[in-house]
Structure 1
């Protein structure tokens, strides 16, 4: 009897339109995140960044959202602020304009309301696009579970705060889907918008280059018309140009050719004074490996060994994991491109977890195993991770490493 009722319920669920199924999942997930925020507000004290008993609006406008708000209201400075020692200080040039101004327009002057709307709506549309990207690769059930994990995952708070992550992931997933379906025309404007939403478009340029190489090597089994060659090369070139455009704009606007990189390094200096020597590709992770080892009472070389093991282990997962291979070579190439980009340009700290959101397609690999117990266990881990993230980054928010 119970099995019959369950089977009937599953059939009714499957018959619902994809948009409706995703909407129900997303609404439940957002209700859970709201509950977690309320719990975090209840434990917040006067020592927290948000003070005692903050409201949900305080969290929407917290941390980097303040910078986006500042950009929307005041624009970008023509003169870079300096520290007491004469170095370039933190300033709005680290935050790109699309999300900031979109929130202002949609909020009709109430930037916080606009930011919340953009993040929530973009998150929902990203869930639908994730399903569309995955369902032909891993099946309907696994694709929908990937949506569940994404909507409820450790970083799900980003769907309800004034950060650009939701919007960027939506644009990225649409672009990946269009490239996979070889509908290149719409990718051109998407690249431009992505490039001015948050950093990461250079990883997309690398991905396009690798896709082009893959398609060329497989051209006998999968014909590669000259028109597609032109599109792939042109899109890669556009992504490269856009990837360096913000640095150029900042240099022209401020008169300082190093304005953008120096601004980014201003944040890195907060972590043990690293970044004083300027930007060197891949150097951030080497410095961080030693910095965090010392923080945890270990010798610096232990962090370097851990870094090597992390890089090798990640590469093996991308190359050998059956579940990851089920996603298709293009999504593996994107994952590798973005991870290489992170390795080249970022200093790992608490915000780095948030920067993993563009790896959203990999939730499909997590969802591939079909055991109900396994999937429910993953969901439980997602919710636990989400609570810990909100607890430390918003509820406590007292120490230098608690930056979302």
Structure 2
């Protein structure tokens, strides 16, 4: 089995009909989440729309759209929170929406997030359908929709935009569209630091393809000398693959290098910016210490046990994906996203949100649901959707996403 061996793609004429159940189901789940949020917020005399568009990270993106980079907040403890920590694609799109419509930057962020979430759902379906079939594709989309932090998909945050770009880049890799994959990886790299996960997936798949071609070189040469009909020009295919590999890292590398130039710190500039937010990569030491500290008292020990169970579940799902022989780019992508999320040294409450783009982790569950009875799967997803909607409303009206 090669790294890109998957099911045949559906014909173009039936694409919309094929994806319709997934998109309609996704829209229904998100509509339920927004409805519960608006009712809950109204009961607490809060504006749900403000919670979605003008709080936490959404404010930072709007400031970038309004005034560009250079804004920072100096805290009493000496930390410096700079808006250089936020990648530029979402603010660029917010500015574009405001330029061509009467909407504000915050409204633009909300609109981009809604549209991007639908594009992400479609991309997730496309990947899962390609690998495991239509039923698994629908289940994967619905599982992504009912995640406990699924409300973030409807916020003026960059998670939905990033997931859309990542999912379609991975689909392009699976279907051999290397230049498209590299271009989408470039855009993902302009959206979030974890864009390097998409780059890694494109590079891993491309290198594996080169290796596979090399091993099959003898067979190809024999076919040429025997006069057998040949497929597409292999030289042209390799050139497109190399171009895709060259394009993929330009987004992440370009922004990081620009920040380094702006701060005068060279390649280390972006790391300095993240350090100002007390964020970095320490291999998971700080997170492990955070979990261990939960066991100092009985009530918090329950939270610690929950965190351990959550991390174990993520690792378990990844292991199942490996055993089920998920395509290499999916394993590389979800592995890098998971490692970066769990091994970041700060903002421990944001771990579930940072893991949200790692949708291939959901594929084993989607496959299990797809193999079960439709009514039973619908009941499971329906109950989880209600619980997720209530949790999202409670979350945003409480501490909210960091």
Deviations 1:367-393, CA, capped at 9 Å, x for gaps: 21222324532442344234223312x
What is the total number of aligned residue pairs between the two structures? 365
Instruction: Provide closer, same or farther for how the CA distance between residues 157 and 313 of structure 1 changes in structure 2, counting only shifts above 3 A.
Output: closer
Aligned position for 2:384: 381
8 Å contact from structure 1 (residues 90, 263) kept in 2:
yes
2:401 to 390, 400, 403: 403
Deviations 1:325-370, CA, capped at 9 Å, x for gaps: 2643432232223223334545361211111122123333212122
Residue 149, structure 1, aligned to residue 143, structure 2 = yes
Q: Alignment partner of 1:162: what SS?
A: coil
CA-CA distance at 1:195 after TM superposition? 1.1
Q: TM-score when scaled to structure 2?
A: 0.77
Instruction: Provide closer, same or farther for how the CA distance between residues 340 and 207 of structure 1 changes in structure 2, counting only shifts above 3 A.
Output: farther
8 Å contact from structure 1 (residues 80, 254) kept in 2:
no
Q: Alignment partner of 1:17: what SS?
A: helix
Q: TM-score when scaled to structure 1?
A: 0.77
8 Å contact from structure 1 (residues 150, 156) kept in 2:
yes
Instruction: Provide closer, same or farther for how the CA distance between residues 189 and 131 of structure 1 changes in structure 2, counting only shifts above 3 A.
Output: same
Unaligned runs of 5+ in 2: 1-13, 221-233
Range with bigger deviation, 346-355 or 305-314? 305-314
Distance 1:231 1:346 in 2: 38
2:162 to 161, 164, 168: 168
Distance 1:61 1:380 in 2: 30
Distance 2:378 2:345 in 1: 32
Aligned position for 1:371: 372
Distance 1:72 1:134 in 2: 34
Aligned position for 1:33: 33
Range with bigger deviation, 22-31 or 121-130? 22-31
Structure 1 residues 190-209: aligned runs within 5 Å: 190-209=184-203
Residue 62, structure 1, aligned to residue 30, structure 2 = no
CA-CA distance at 1:113 after TM superposition? 1.8
Aligned position for 2:293: 294
Aligned position for 2:227: none
Unaligned runs of 5+ in 1: 1-13, 45-51, 269-274
Instruction: Provide closer, same or farther for how the CA distance between residues 344 and 321 of structure 1 changes in structure 2, counting only shifts above 3 A.
Output: closer
Distance 2:262 2:249 in 1: 21
Distance 2:28 2:312 in 1: 37
Structure 1 residues 42-61: aligned runs within 5 Å: 42-44=42-44, 52-61=45-54
Q: Alignment partner of 2:346: what SS?
A: coil
1:101 to 92, 104, 113: 92
CA-CA distance at 1:187 after TM superposition? 2.4
8 Å contact from structure 1 (residues 209, 232) kept in 2:
no
8 Å contact from structure 1 (residues 93, 263) kept in 2:
yes
Deviations 1:49-88, CA, capped at 9 Å, x for gaps: xxx43242443222110000010001111x8654455x45
Instruction: Provide closer, same or farther for how the CA distance between residues 217 and 343 of structure 1 changes in structure 2, counting only shifts above 3 A.
Output: farther
